[in-house]
Every structure is written in structure tokens, then in C-alpha cells.
Amino acid sequence: MKELILFIICLATCMSCKKQNETAPDQQAITLEISVQNNSENISEVRVFLFDDATDLTPARALAEDRTDENGRVVFHSASDFPNSSTGESLTIVAYEESKPLEFNSLGEEQVTLVDEELITADLQIKTPTQYGYFPTSITNDLAMSEYERWKSSEVVTCNDGLRVIADPASETKVEAIGFGMLLSAYAQDKSTFDGLFSFYKSKRTAVANQMMAWSVTCDGIDDPGSATDGDLDVAFGLIVASQYWGDAYLEEARTILGIISSDLIAECTVDGQPIHVLYPGFSTIAWGGCQMTDLMYHTPAFFRIFADVTSNDIWNVLAEDTYKLLENSAHPETGLVPDWQTAAGTPGPEGRNGHFGYDACRVPWRLALDYLWNGDPRAKAWCGKVTDWLQSIGPENLVDGYELDGTPIGQYGINSAFMGGFTVAAMTHSQSRVNNFGTELAELNDTYWFNLNTRVVYLFCTTGNFYKPEL
């Protein structure tokens, strides 16, 4: 991971000189000087484009384009590059990389207002997850961070000496919400929020859950003392991200959780005579589910590869690889859609669980897309291409919150960020045009339900480069 920090320093210099016996100034000459940095290092050979229409940032529509020099700078002049722009007008500056011929990936953008005789500085902080994929130009970093603040103000509440993320009803908290919150606050480098959430997590550990958090709790009580593995895995990954900023104590906490899961919550199954490893969905005195009931959404190969690195336990790499066997066993051959719950062999809906594409499965596109965006895994790209092909065929604006695996709609509440956001992250693996299209739909949503808002902010962080592969 690299943090790409695009510092845009716009120097507006008005040079006025008087002709003899004249009082009117000459026409202004304005210079825009852009400096591009990555982790405080000046970056050369970055393509920078200048636009006067913020609604169309297609490179072919740019007023001017240049590459940063050896000092990471590029300069545009009003006389040659934006002669028709005047004081008070705004220009948009975009840094693009050309991932393949005539296909551009936006690295960041900033608007600059032209003013008289003032030095203007603006910082744009962009964190890019990888060299793979495309960022939507239809979703801005400002939107992601403002939605993070909205999430904090509406979903995060105090509880004794900690913080918790509310569910429905608001008196309840689920471990998956603590996982979402710790991922978000770690990536936002919001230490007080992160520490408050982790304090709450630790306060709700139970013996029934094998010393992990009880999956459903209130501030002062416990509704269900068993664990839910997806939340614990997200908490562990959030701790790893946090360790980059706040020290190895967080990494040790992650290793403790991962040690419990690797010892007690990974099942070895046999399908068609071949071994396959899957996660037990939870622990309630004993691990439950496994070969005959698991959830693909609990499996995030990109996380597992990091877990292998920080624990030196290769079972996590095995689990990452076997996730694609689990995917192959369950994905619909035409739509690519997967069920909320399945057996290791791929049979949907075991033991009365949901066998359709619902509120668990809607997170699978995000979780699998990360393995391409961070690691370039072609299997993740292929599946994300298939499911986003399906959504493109029906139109993202027509998405609802639930489908049979053949694409028959069964959702009752229409489009929301939990579904649209997962597909938007998946579209990052496909093309600039597709992720822009999907991103437009996601940007316009205004979720208030706890689950939809939590996932919305996670997806917005992904689509703006704020959810990136840790460097350990």
C-alpha cells in the first residue's frame, strides 16, 4: 500500500503594470503549479489533467495535460492552457494513470477557484489500494469522509468506558457492527473511536464464545453469548491496520483472535474426494456449522493472506485458496450470484437458512474484489466481472435488496448501499465506465438503517482509496 498524497498548490499571481499615462491594469496572467507527492516523496511522471467542466472529467475533454517533472511538479498557464477562464471560476485538476491504452484510472482530483493576488493551497489525500482496478470518478473523497462523520454521529454511542455501534433496535449491538466500526476508524486513523470500540468488544468476551465477543449484546447485558466469525475476523483485520499507526500492541491483540479462529473455527471438509477448508460460522460452547453449513461472505481471501503473514500460519493461505473452491461450488452459472448460506459442496440454504442472494451474500462482491484490487487475483476479477455483467444487464438503478440465484428479484425494499456498494466495489475490477456508472448510483443514496449505513461507508472508503492493503 502506498498513500498517494496529492498536494495541489495553486499560485495565482496578478501582474499589473501601467502603461505610460494609463491607469487600467493589463490582463492578469495566472499560473497553476501542482505538486504531486506519495508519502512525502515527490512523484515524477504522473499525468495531470486540467478541466473547466467538473461534470465531465473524461481525459479527452481536458483543457490541458502534462506530466510532473523530476520534482513532482507540473505547471499550467492561463495564456496557453485556460485562456477563457477568469477570476471566480473553478477548475478541476485530476491525476490519472493509464492502466491500459485509452483506459484511465483516477488517482485523485481537486477543484481550484481562481482568485486575484492570493496564494491558494489545497491538499488532496488519496490512498490507493493497488496498481489494479479503477477508482470511480463519480465518488469523491469528501463524500466518503462526510459519510464517515455522519455514521459516527448517528451510529456510534457511548457505553460505560467504551463505544458501541447501534443495531436495530438501537439498544442492541452486533459483533459485525463492531467489526465494521473498527475497520472504518482504523482506516480513518481515528484512534479514540477505535479504542472505544475495541474496549467494548473486550468487555463482551464470553467463555461460551471461546473468549471472543458475544455476537448480540446490549450496553449492560448479553442477548446471545455465542460468537459470529465474520465480526471477529473484521475486528482482527482492523487491529492489524491500527498497528500501522499506533504500535505492535494492536498486532498482538489481532494475533490472539486469529489464534483462536485458526485453532477452533476452520473446518477441513471433503468434496468430490478433494479437501476444502471452510470457516465455522460461530462458536457457542463448540464450533457450529462447518462442512454442512457455512457462509461465503465470512471468507475474505485478501484478509487471509495478510493473516498468514502476521501469524506465520499457512492455514490462512490455504483458506484463501479454498475460498475460490467454495465460490465455484455455489455460484450460479449464468448470473454468478451466490447464496447467503451453503454447504461446502455448494448446496444453498442448508438447515433452513437463506439460500438466496440476500443481506449476507451482498457483501461477497466487496470481500472477493479486494483480492484482485490488492493482489491481482484473476479468479476474483473473473467472478466480479460476471456478477457485475448481470447487474449491468438489468441496470444498476433497478437493483433491489434480494434475488434468487437465477436473478429473479425477491427483495422488498429497493436499492440500498448494502447491495449497490458491494457491486460498485466489484465494478472497480472491470472498467472505468462501469465503476463510474455504478458509483453514480451509490453516491446518490442516503441510507439511514444501521446495516446499510455501516456497509455504505465501508464501500465508500474502498471506492476512494481509503481502504487499502496494509504494509507490514
Read off the pLDDT of residues 85-116 as tens digits, 9 standing for 90 and up: 888 888 888 888 765 566 676 777 788 888 77
Residue with the larger pLDDT of the pair 316 and 49: 316
- Determine the CATH number of domain 141-463: 1.50.10.10
Q: Amino acid identity of 15?
A: M
Q: Which segments within 166-265 are labelled E, that is strand?
A: 172-174, 205-206, 212-213, 216-218, 222-224
User: What confidence tens digit (pLDDT) does each residue in 446-462 have?
Assistant: 999 999 999 999 999 99
pTM: 0.77
pLDDT of residue 21: 36
41 falls in which pLDDT band (50, 70, 90)?
A: low
Give the whole-angstrom CA distance, residue 297 versus residue 304.
13
Q: C-alpha grid cell for residue 199?
A: 474496549
Q: What class has domain 2-15+28-128?
A: mainly beta
CA-nearest of 361, 202, 228 to 288 is 228
Can you give the residue ranges of every domain in the chain? 2-15+28-128, 141-463
- For 385-418, the pLDDT digits (tens) are 999 999 999 999 999 999 999 999 999 999 999 9
Which pLDDT score is estimated for 17? 37
CA-based nearest residue to 102, from 388, 432, 440, 464: 432
What tens digit of pLDDT does each residue of 338-382 get? 999 999 999 999 999 999 999 999 999 999 999 999 999 999 999
User: Average pLDDT for residues 234-261, to the nearest whole number?
Assistant: 98
